[in-house]
Structure 1
Amino acid sequence: MTPSTALKEWDTQCQALTSGTSALLIRKGGIMETHAGFEVEHRAFYLYPTFLHQNPAELRPEFAALLRDDPQPGRIVLPALAEVVAVHKVESLERALALEPHQALTAGAIERRFHYRGRPWVHALLLRVRPLARPAVLEETPEMLGCVSWVPLAEVTAEAQAPVLPEARLEQLREEIERAVNG
């Protein structure tokens, strides 16, 4: 099944996921999300790199080198398919901060997302990422703009390669993340 949706995420995070340097996203939602905030509406989706709001100060130092300008302004370059392996709604700041080593954001960025809009929680998504044999390039349309997480797509034809992380490593990460979020 080919997804018809993409998840907007900072380009640096998309690069880390697509390279296998990271497999975890910590999400809260964009300013245009509903009052309830971000929800995991889709279990499979394309990664949609966004350059808007990327903040070098909110990236752990080892990920700062991934920062770059948009290589194709006006176009969206989808690098990979992602499948949700596990999702946790984390309602303890201490447990959310315990996830820092597993992803690209600093502790300060995690804390800011945790408290965003006065609703103390974040979602932690462990992803199986399959790079596309050739990135899918789409013209950016007005419907794609704005601070939203999920973007419906017209039909995308793309060939996904093998996952960047072996299943044994994903299972190990799943266990580590569950220990972190469950205390």
Structure 2
Amino acid sequence: MEPTSALKEWDAQCQALANGSSALLLRKGGIMETHEGFEVEHRAFLLYPTFLHQNPAELRLPFQPLLRPDPAPGLIHFATSAEVVQVWRIEDLDVALSLEPFQALNVQAIERRFHYRNRPWLHALLLRTSPLATPVSVPETPEMLGCVSWVPLFQPAGPTLAPVCSEAQLQELELQLQARLGPGLNRLPTT
């Protein structure tokens, strides 16, 4: 499936997903999202690393070494493709906080995202990530700017290499997440 969009996320989280130290992303959305907030509009996409609003105080200690200044301001470097394996909508803060060990954000960041815009929920996305065979760098255009989650791509991304996590690793992680989330939490469709 060839991605036609990119998902903006903090650079440190994109690196964690790209190197396999995380496969889970907790999302709420940006200030320019629709009234309903962030939705998982695409099942395959590129990771769009952003340095805007990246907050070192909201990253767990093991992910702090991934923080770096923007290596090429005005240029977006697409190096990783992602596919949604599973997505859950979480409406219980304690459940959301229980996911801290599985991803890069600390409890303060999870709580802030959970309560953002006074709408208590967030999405948990289990992702299969793969490096692009040939990374693509493009100039950041005015259409790409702003606090939005999804950005359309205007050129094909090309083929990917093998996923950074094996299918067995992803299945094991999904089982662990489902145990934390509980049987009553419905998964959202992934197709």
Compute the TM-score of the two structures, normalised by the length of structure 2. 0.94
Matched, 1:92 2:98: no
RMSD of the TM alignment (CA)? 0.9
Secondary structure, counterpart of 2:25 in structure 1:
strand
2:122 matched residue in structure 1: 122
Superimposed CA distance per residue, residues 93-128 of structure 1 (whole angstroms, 9 cap, x where no aligned partner)? 000001000000001100010000110001000000
Matched, 1:154 2:122: no
1:2 matched residue in structure 2: 2
- Which 5+ residue runs of structure 2 have no aligned equivalent? 184-191
Residue pair 1:9, 1:50 contacting (<8 A) in 2 also: yes
The CA deviation at 1:179 is 1.4
Matched, 1:39 2:39: yes
Q: Which runs of 4+ in 1 moved over 2 A?
A: 156-159
The CA deviation at 1:171 is 0.3
Q: How many Å separate the matches in 2 of 1:157 and 1:9?
A: 18
Q: Which amino acid aligns with 2:123?
A: H
Number of corresponding residues: 183
The CA deviation at 1:181 is 1.6
Q: How many Å separate the matches in 2 of 1:134 and 1:63?
A: 26
Superimposed CA distance per residue, residues 44-64 of structure 1 (whole angstroms, 9 cap, x where no aligned partner)? 000000000000000000100
Q: Which amino acid aligns with 1:136?
A: V
2:21 matched residue in structure 1: 21
Compute the TM-score of the two structures, normalised by the length of structure 1. 0.98
- Which 5+ residue runs of structure 1 have no aligned equivalent? none
Residue pair 1:26, 1:125 contacting (<8 A) in 2 also: yes
